[in-house]
Structure 1
Amino acid sequence: MRKPSSLLRLHPVDQMKPTHPQTLRYLCGKVIRPVARSYTSHALRPTIRRGYIPRTTRFSTYSQLKMSDADYAAFLDKANQDPNEGYAKPASKSNEFKAQDDGAELPKAIQALLEQDKVYISDADEPFVGVALAWDEAGKGLPDEVEFARLIQHPDPENADVELQDPVDWDSNGDYKDIIEAVRKAGKGNDVRVYVVPKGGVRTEYWLVTTEGKGKGAKLVGVKALSVES
Structure 2
Amino acid sequence: MNATTPDDLQARILYRDGLILVLDKPAGIAVHRGPKGGASLEAGFSALRFGLPRDPALAHRLDRDTAGCLVLGRHHKALEKLGLLFKQGKIGKTYWAVVEGAPQADEGIVDLPLGRLDATRGWWMKVDPQGLPAETHWRVLVRGDGRSLLALTPRTGRTHQLRVHCAASGFPILGDPIYGTGDRDARLHLLARRIEIPLYKNKPPVEAEAPVPEHMQAEVAALLGGLGAE
TM-score, normalised to structure 2, is: 0.21
| Structure (1 or 2) with the greater strand fraction | 2
| Structure (1 or 2) with the greater helix fraction | 1
TM-score, normalised to structure 1, is: 0.21
Greater C-alpha radius of gyration: 1
